[in-house]
Amino acid sequence: MAVYTVTAVAECPECFGEVELNDVMENEIVQCGECGVDLEVMGLDPVALDLAPEEDEDWGE
C-alpha cells in the first residue's frame, strides 16, 4: 500500500492559526493546537485543511 505523507505548517480554516502537520496523510483527522477544532487533511500538494466531518448521534440498530 503506497502511503504518501507530508510535514508542513498550514492555516487553520477556523481560527487562522498555524497548524503543524507531521507526516500526515490525505483524509487524516488532525486537531488545531490553537482552537482545538478537528480538521481533515484535504490535500497534500498543496497542503489543504478543512473542518473534519461532524459527528451525528442516532439511535438504532
Partner 1 sequence: MAEPSRDEAERVLTRLVEIPSFSGDELKASSYLVEAMGGLGYDRYEVDAAGNAVGEIGETDAGQTVVLLGHIDTVFGDIPVRVEEGRDGPALYGRGSVDAKGPLATFAVAAARVGSEWAKRNSTRLVVVGAVEEEAATSKGARFIRDRFDGTQEPTPDFCIIGEPSGATRITLFYMGRILLEMKADQPMMHSAGPNPGVGTNAVDLWNWIGGYADSFNRDRNRMFDQLRPSLRDLRTWTDEAMRDLVWTKIGVRLPLGFDVDAFLGEMWDWARERVQEQASPPEPPYVRGADASPQKLHFGDEELRLEFRFHGYEPAWRSGRNSALVRGFLAAIREQTSERPRFVSKSGTSDMNVVGPAWQCPIAAYGPGDSSLDHTPNEHLHLDEYWQAVLILESALRRLA
Binding site for partner 1 (CB under 8 A): 1, 3, 25-29, 40, 52-61
Question: 31 or 35: whose CB is closer to partner 1?
Answer: 31
Smallest separation, CB 53 to partner 1 (Å)? 5
Smallest separation, CB 7 to partner 1 (Å)? 16
Contact of 54 with 43, CB cutoff 8 Å: no
Question: 46 or 55: whose CB is closer to partner 1?
Answer: 55
Alpha-carbon span 3 to 33, nearest angstrom: 25
Q: Residue type for 16, please?
A: F
* Cell 484535504, residue located: 42
